[in-house]
Amino acid sequence: MLSSLKRLYSLTLIVAMIITSCGCSDSGPASKAEPGQAETTNSATNELGAIRFGLIPSEGGTDIVERFKPVIEQLEMELGRPVEAFSATEYLGIITAMKNKQVDVVYFGPKSYVEANRIAGAIAVAKELNLDGLAGYFGIIVTNQSTGIQSLADARGRSFGFTTPNSTSGYLVPFIGIMEETGMTAEEYFGDVKYTGTHGNAVRAVIAGDLDVAATNTLDLRAMQQSGLDASALVEIWRSPEIPAGVIAVRDDLPIEFREQVTAALVKLSGDQDAMEQMARGGFVPATDEDYDYIRLLEQRKVEMAAESDG
C-alpha cells in the first residue's frame, strides 16, 4: 500500500428541496430559514441573500456544524453577509445540494470534492492544515483492544466498517490498502462489511463492540477526542500514506471575486489560535483543483484493481 500510493502521489438543516432531491433526512436545525427562502436566494450569484455553507457530515451533522462555527462567523464578518450552515446525513446530500445551487460554499473531503467538481462545479479555494501544519492527514483502520486484533491479518473474517463510498479515508484509500495488503476486496476478506455513514459512527461502533474494525482518519479522530470522545480502547492496525487535506470549495458559477474573498477570509482566520483549537485544525491555505489530482489517480487505481480482481 505504502509503495504504490507513494508512486501515485508524485445547519444540520437541509431545506426541503435538498431532502426531496437526494432522499436524505436532516438531523435537526442549526439555523432557521423562512418559507420560500431557498427559492428566493437561489440565483446564480446569491449576492443579496445569505451565504449558504454546506458541510459533509464527517463527524456527524450537528458536530461538524458546531466544529466549523469559527469559519461561519469569519465569513459573516469578512464578507458582511449572514451565513446559513447546512449538513446532511450522507455526503451525497451536500454534493447534490451544490449541483442544485442550494449551497454556495462547501467543506468537502478530498474524494467528495473530486466528485463535486465533476458533477456540481465545485472549485477549490482553500484547504485545511492539520495541527502539525501539514496540508494532509492519514487514513487509519482501528479496532477495539478487546478484540485482540493487532493487524489486518488478524482481522480476516471479522466485521468491518467503511463510512460512505464518497469518503476518502473512510472508503477509497482503505479499499485500495486492503486489496494491496491482502489481495482481496474488503467484501471478500472480512466476514461482514457495513457502511456507517460518518466517521463518528464508525469510531463509536468499534468502541461499543458493534464492529470489530473500521476505517477512519487521524484528523477526525483527533477532533472527536477533543470533543470528549474516550478513544483509549482504540488500537490502530493500519495507516495510509498522507492524504491531501479537506477543502473549502465554491460553486463555479459564482463570481471570481467571491472566491477570492472566501480564500482571504479563511487564510486570515488561521491566525486566530482559539478558533483553530476549537476546530482541531492548524489553519487554511489557498488551494487549487490540481491539488486533488492524486485522488483522481487513486480512483483510477481502484477501478483497475477491481477489474483485476473480477478477472
Q: Average pLDDT in the 123-135 region?
A: 93
Q: What is the pTM of this model?
A: 0.75
User: Sign of dihedral through CA atoms 291, 287, 96, 71?
Assistant: positive
Q: Which CATH architecture has domain 137-243+300-310?
A: 3-Layer(aba) Sandwich (3.40)
Are 245 and 113 in contact by the 8 Å Cβ rule? The answer is: no
Quick: pLDDT tens for 34-91. Answer: 323 333 334 444 455 899 999 988 765 567 888 899 999 999 999 999 999 988 878 8
Average pLDDT, the chain: 84
Tell me the CA distances in angstroms from 63 to 79, 88, 145, 154, 283, one per residue in order. Answer: 24, 11, 26, 33, 19
Two domains, one topology: 8-133+244-294 and 137-243+300-310: yes
What band does 311 get if pLDDT is binned at 50, 70 and 90?
low
Rounded Cα gap, residues 224 and 271, in angstroms: 23
What band does 307 get if pLDDT is binned at 50, 70 and 90?
confident
Show me where the domains of the chain are located. 8-133+244-294, 137-243+300-310
Element (H or E) spanning 63, and its range?
helix 61-67
Taking the domain 8-133+244-294, which CATH number applies?
Answer: 3.40.190.10
